[in-house]
Amino acid sequence: MSITNLALPHKIKFVKKESIAPNVYSFHFLPKEKLKWKAGQHGIFEIQEKGSKTLRWPFWISSSPSEGEIVVTTKHKTDETIAFKQRLMALKAGDTLKFRGPIGTLHIPKNPKKHYALLATGIGIAPFRSILKQINDTNSDAHVTLFFLGNKELHYFKEELSAIASKNKNISIEYIYKPDRITGQTIQEALGDKIFETIYLLSGSSQIVRNYQRTLRGLGIPRRNIRIDILVGIDALRQRVKNFIDTTKD
């Protein structure tokens, strides 16, 4: 992760929000200058309040670089208490935010030599939607298996992801429905003899990621084949940016 990407924000313009499921929304932004990122990365979004107060929140980017816009997808309930999300819902077309990033290593190289498995629960699908969309749009020859756990009615982006998989023989999706889980048996049955040659990308909360890690380690998957990238916390962001600014002062 480049600390410079955190310290030097980009301006982005809000375009629209759309409901993709009950209490789940995608927010669309356009960068005001050229912005490069890799499918699967995330960043910190900033909204300037009146006065000097700045609200910050980290989000995975659910859009792919091929789409040319920054999209974040998140839950928002009517009793939401997070100030940032309240302001996010109140944005109007043309409003300007700041984006610090891109951040993270949860991505697939341009010319992958390994099979990749993506493990996600619920809204953790966001970075993997970006990855699969990018593979589809660039005709990548990446071989990917997605393991996606969610409620039967709420596998976010399911129709779109299924359409991508139906057109690409190198992409397969295993939908798992709660209360079932992504188990070692699920992974073994889907990957077969590729299980130890696969690179695993894990997305979700810190607890969910730890659960995935335990499952994979229980199968004997080498640590070097497991990649995680938990969202940078707000306190950690502030400290990293402060440290960078302090070291670059004259």
23 and 73 together in one domain: yes
- Condensed to tens digits (0 to 9), the pLDDT of residues 161-219 reads 999 999 999 999 999 998 999 999 999 999 999 999 999 999 888 888 899 999 999 99
Residue 71 lies in a domain: yes
Residue 164 lies in a domain: yes
93 and 144 together in one domain: no
50 and 135 together in one domain: no
φ, ψ of residue 150 in degrees (nearest 5): -165, 175
**Mean pLDDT lowest among 44-53, 106-115, 222-231, 237-246:** 237-246
98 and 137 together in one domain: no
205 and 174 together in one domain: yes
pTM of the model: 0.88
Give the CATH number, domain containing residue 21: 2.40.30.10
Which pLDDT score is estimated for 232? 55
156 and 212 together in one domain: yes
Gap between the Cα atoms of 107 and 201, Å rounded: 8
Gap between the Cα atoms of 229 and 106, Å rounded: 6
73 and 154 together in one domain: no
Give the CATH number, domain containing residue 165: 3.40.50.80
Domain range for residue 194?
115-228
Average pLDDT, the chain: 88
135 and 49 together in one domain: no
Q: What beta strand segments (E) does the chain contain?
A: 10-21, 24-31, 42-48, 54-60, 70-75, 96-103, 115-121, 143-150, 171-177, 198-203, 226-228
Gap between the Cα atoms of 93 and 73, Å rounded: 17
83 and 175 together in one domain: no
Residue 109 lies in a domain: no
Residue 223 lies in a domain: yes
φ, ψ of residue 180 in degrees (nearest 5): -65, 170
The token duo for 55 is: 């609200």
Residue 108 lies in a domain: no
The token duo for 200 is: 């695993």
Dihedral sign computed on CA atoms, order 207, 25, 43, 84: negative
95 and 26 together in one domain: yes
* Strands 70-75 vs 24-31: parallel, antiparallel or unpaired: antiparallel
64 and 165 together in one domain: no
How many domains are contained in the chain?
2
Residue 24 lies in a domain: yes
213 and 237 together in one domain: no
Residue 34 lies in a domain: yes
CB 72, CB 138: distance < 8 Å: no
- Condensed to tens digits (0 to 9), the pLDDT of residues 85-142 reads 999 999 999 999 999 989 888 899 888 889 999 999 988 999 999 999 999 999 899 9
